[in-house]
Copies of this chain bind each other. A is one copy, B any other.
Amino acid sequence: MSKAIVLLSGGLDSATTLYYARKRGFKVFCLIFDYGQRHKKEIAQAVRIAEASHSGYSVLNICLPQKGSALLEKRLVLPKGKASPLNKIPSTYVPSRNIVFLSLAASYAEVLNADTVFIGANAIDYSGYPDCRPEFMNAFQKALDAGTKAGVEGKRIKIAAPLINKTKSQIVEMASKLKVPLHLTWSCYRGGKRPCGVCDSCVLREKGFQEAGIIDPAIGK
């Protein structure tokens, strides 16, 4: 049974990626990151999702610089309304976030003898973050091949981003088929009792469910 690391944020995309990896037959270990997000709700939900999927997991603290992103600094305003234009990187960009996550995942992959790192990055209905794009994934794969013992010895750690070219509605359909516990997923940039419905992430999610014709159990519409 092959082993895999899954980067799990508590959102729709990473939960779908987790269930996809399990369906593909991997024994999964989830990495959940506490990097000073505006709220801890997504971390709590990620833990529930990992447990629901019967996967091992660990919550890792990371000292990212706590400045310069609306996802980290509460004094900054979260973008509202229609999702940001795709040619502009929004204020919610966290510098080098996926680069740091994937680097740590590679370290755990080597130690746990996992051959694949799954990441729920998406470059279609997405936020515009540069570290979600295939160009970055391909470049990072080459860095891993050159910089890890596994890579040098020919037992490559593969980065898998199965959602990267899917629309949000295709991801919702996939999640539904894979029986992802959608009611546990949390996409909202805020940590309220219910999703705010107006941040970029809520808007993208709602559009995805609407287009897929599926009710979002997290909000009941």
Contact = CB atoms under 8 A, between A and B. Distances in A.
Contacts of A58: 63
A54 interface: no
A103 to B, nearest CB: 4
Given A99-B148, A149-B89, A111 B143 contact: no
A130 B107 contact: no
Given A95-B148, A136-B143, A65 B111 contact: yes
Given A63-B61, A110-B68, A96 B131 contact: no
Contacts of A142: 139, 142-143
Interface string A91-119: 00111111110111011101110000000
A interface, how many residues as a size bin?
35 or more
A219 interface: no
Contact of A100 (B93, B103, B138, B149): B103
The dominant DSSP class at the A interface is helix
Interface string A133-160: 1011011101111111101110000000
Interface of A: 58, 60-65, 67-68, 89, 93-100, 102-104, 106-108, 110-112, 130-131, 133, 135-136, 138-140, 142-149, 151-153
Given A61-B63, A95-B111, 14 more contacts: A62-B63, A63-B104, A65-B111, A93-B149, A95-B106, A95-B107, A96-B107, A96-B147, A98-B147, A99-B147, A99-B148, A130-B149, A130-B151, A140-B143
The 10 closest A-B pairs by CB, nearest first: A95-B110, A136-B147, A96-B107, A131-B147, A65-B111, A139-B143, A60-B63, A103-B103, A136-B146, A100-B103
